[in-house]
Amino acid sequence: MIIPVIMSGGSGSRLWPQSRSLYPKQFLPLVNTQTMLQNTVTRLDGLDSVTAPLVIANEDHRFLVAEQLRQIGQEASAIILEPVGRNTAPALALAAIKAKALADKAEPVLLVLAADHVIQDVQAFHQAINAALPAAHDGKLVTFGVVPTHPETGYGYIKAGEQLIRNGEEGVAAKYAEPATHNLSPTTIYSVEQFVEKPDLETAQGYLASGDYYWNSGMFLFKASRYLEELNKFRPDILEACQKAMEVQSTDLDFVRLDELAFKACPDESIDYAVMEKTTDAVVVPLDAGWTDVGSWSSLADISSKDESGNSTIGDVMLQDTRNTYVRSEKKLIAAVGVEDLVITESDDAILVAHKSRVQDVKKIVDRLKAENRPEVKLHRKVYRPWGAYDSIDMGDRFQVKRIIVKPGAQLSLQMHYHRAEHWIVVKGTALIVNGDQEILLTENQSTYIPIGAVHRLENPGK
């Protein structure tokens, strides 16, 4: 049994203004019509013995996760809500504890994936997973090393060691071979000699030339029990904190909530530092499947289709004498004249113009927005809620105009305001409205006035 564990807690600040802290990149359709989270789930189709995914998410993103899974007809085995971020080692401890409980007496194998990666060759991805399974069943902790295509300085690297020889149907034998160079077959498994940090350009060029190094993808395959054993060996403090947090968990629909105080006491540590760099059972399977982590606008531009001048355009865009530029429009016409090597992207309330060589510095803009407590760092103008969404169309000193969209069968909470009155006008569909002691059914072009202090609620009884 393979339980996919999808880590969906990132903020994606380098992809601002599309990515916001309360609506980050994994919930956006950046590469096709599906969101990145949805792509991560659907690319598992065709793998044998794969269960419903277990998702680890931020508390603030819980309804986004549930809704986006619902849209593709996928239920989660559980959605674990982290009250605070504590990095990947604790997150995967929570997942392993929950997976063992879900599997009952079976021994689950965890396939650990990030929600915001792009993998273009799904068949090669499946091939690498199937090749890694015997090692995982044998107790190895498998990581997937991406075959590098260029000397990248933005990724960590894995240095492959000796090749492991498979022994018939018995899994991975204790016997090793030392090839002169590593062939890049996706069915080959190597021991891990070393995890290395992001290198400078000269070092990265050496890694590429040697053929012994792979990009660290942050994807793993291992038995839940083996991960917990190794975590207990090297970081028992992390395991103890996670166990305490899970002891008093509460379940609400698919959501699993932890003991907040217990989890806040957990150290912040990555799985690489906590376990993978210390264990003697780490192995790496090369992955050559068109992988990227879409960590910046330039990496998204690299995988986007281009015209004869090297430009990538999305939405309503008009270019004149423009080269090697990525332009993304969501609502407005964007025209660019006589520019090159730029990223230009527009959302409902912000525009970004950056040179491709400086896109990593978008995070500095986000940091400034945070320091000034500006709303553009957290939310888009359109805000999603479990019942639907609202879009703040206009705002003044003494008024605000919102477009409210309520899903069929959904309703807002019963509420009352002491300092504002509201006018509701139905522009599409049918609305069932509680207005004081009245219950009113309104259709298109009909309206009601809700005075200060009146109890009110909006519901969509239609289809």
In a domain, 165, yes or no: yes
In which domain, by residue range, is 364 found? 297-371
Instruction: Examine the fold and report which residue of 258, 292, 326 is the final residue of a domain before the chain moves on.
Output: 292
Give the C-alpha distances (Å, rounded to integers) separating 305 from 43, 76, 174, 311, 324.
21, 33, 46, 8, 11
Question: What's the total number of domains in the chain?
Answer: 3
Tell whether 89 and 224 lie within a shared domain.
Answer: yes
Tell whether 207 and 285 lie within a shared domain.
Answer: yes
Tell whether 309 and 437 lie within a shared domain.
Answer: no
**Helical residues (DSSP H) of 121-200, grouped into ranges:** 122-137
Contact 125, 43 (CB under 8 A): yes
**Helical residues (DSSP H) of 48-166, grouped into ranges:** 62-71, 88-103, 122-137
Tell whether 262 and 393 lie within a shared domain.
Answer: no
Instruction: Examine the fold and report which residue of 264, 292, 320 is the final residue of a domain before the chain moves on.
Output: 292
The per-residue pLDDT for 106 is 86
Tell whether 176 and 321 lie within a shared domain.
Answer: no
Residue type, 32: N
- Radius of gyration (Cα) for the chain, nearest Å? 25
Contact 367, 375 (CB under 8 A): no
Tell whether 177 and 302 lie within a shared domain.
Answer: no
Tell whether 307 and 253 lie within a shared domain.
Answer: no
The per-residue pLDDT for 165 is 63
Tell whether 252 and 341 lie within a shared domain.
Answer: no
Instruction: Examine the fold and report which residue of 241, 264, 292 is the final residue of a domain before the chain moves on.
Output: 292
CATH number for the domain spanning 443: value is 2.60.120.10
Residue type, 218: G
Q: State both tokens at 289.
A: 């499947």
Tell whether 345 and 429 lie within a shared domain.
Answer: no
To the nearest 10°, the Cα dihedral for 222, 225, 228, 232? -130
Tell whether 321 and 416 lie within a shared domain.
Answer: no
- Full pLDDT tens readout for the chain, 463 residues: 999 999 998 888 999 999 999 899 999 999 999 999 999 999 999 999 999 999 999 988 988 999 899 999 999 999 999 999 999 999 999 999 999 999 888 899 999 999 999 999 999 999 999 999 999 999 999 999 999 999 988 899 999 999 886 544 444 434 333 333 444 444 689 999 999 999 999 999 999 999 999 999 999 999 999 999 999 999 999 999 999 999 988 887 779 999 999 999 999 999 999 999 999 999 999 999 999 989 899 999 999 999 999 999 999 999 999 999 999 999 899 999 999 999 999 998 899 999 999 999 999 999 999 999 998 998 888 887 889 889 988 888 999 999 999 999 999 999 999 999 999 999 999 999 999 999 999 999 999 999 999 999 999 999 8
In a domain, 344, yes or no: yes
The per-residue pLDDT for 252 is 77
Tell whether 327 and 426 lie within a shared domain.
Answer: no
In a domain, 235, yes or no: yes
Query: What is the distance between the alpha carbons of residues 35 and 32, in angstroms, rounded to a whole number?
Result: 7
The per-residue pLDDT for 166 is 53
In a domain, 377, yes or no: no
In a domain, 376, yes or no: no
CATH number for the domain spanning 61: value is 3.90.550.10
* DSSP helix/strand/coil, 419: coil
The per-residue pLDDT for 187 is 62
Contact 157, 213 (CB under 8 A): yes
Tell whether 138 and 282 lie within a shared domain.
Answer: yes
